[in-house]
Chain A
């Protein structure tokens, strides 16, 4: 079945440094890859997403890269700040047509930013 693996499970970085989270997916038909940030007890928030026809996307301090051949995608956060501390989930979806389809989540990465 579909599976998304995420590493590392925990990550601690010094404030101002960069953080990288990596994921792999098993379903080669996946074509939509969202990343979510979740704070304790709250809903997941979409922070960036990428579609399979794009190799890289950037939004201010956040960037995502996708390697379809290797079925890898990564999240890069630069100039980390204390408010970046949260759990981050990668996800993959086989969207059909122009509408949403079920999302398979990775296991999550607990990111801590050290002051």
Chain B
């Protein structure tokens, strides 16, 4: 149980375009979802926390107008990278948690390459 999926698993886009990444909890209701970014050979950096039906809480230094997060249902959160630039190229990973549990369940990640 506690499976989280992400789509797409990888995407290549041109500079200036927008890309949407989906994160789904397949077999549980996710009260909270988290979005992380991981550059090569580095750690996971939390970008934002989202609760279903509420606005996301962004970490310091993360541009909320550039990284749009929507958590419209208890099983789906989306991250849209707007006006992508090559420096946005990274591995984006979501995680989800259920009520009453400390553990976060991670998605498989999405590798974004901006050319």
Measured between alpha carbons, how far is A26 from B58 in the docked complex, in Å?
21
Are A107 and B102 in contact, with the CB atoms below 8 A? no
* Chain B residues, CB < 8 A from A99: 31-32, 97, 99-102
* Chain A residues, CB < 8 A from B114: none
Q: How many residues of B are in contact with the other chain, CB < 8 A?
A: 24
B43, chain A: closest CB distance, angstroms: 5
The yes or no answer to B60 lying at the interface (CB within 8 A) is yes
Are A95 and B102 in contact, with the CB atoms below 8 A? yes
Q: Given that A42-B109, A43-B93, A43-B109 are contacting pairs, would A100 and B43 also be in contact in the complex, using a CB cutoff of 8 Å?
A: no
- How many contacting A-B pairs (Cβ < 8 A)? 60
A98, chain B: closest CB distance, angstroms: 5
Q: Which of A64-115 contact B (CB under 8 A)?
A: 89, 93, 95, 98-100, 102-108
Give the interface of B toward A (CB within 8 A). Answer: 31-32, 34, 42-46, 49, 60, 91, 93, 97, 99-104, 106-109, 111
Closest 10 CB pairs of A and B: A100-B97, A43-B106, A105-B43, A98-B100, A95-B102, A32-B102, A105-B44, A43-B108, A107-B43, A108-B43
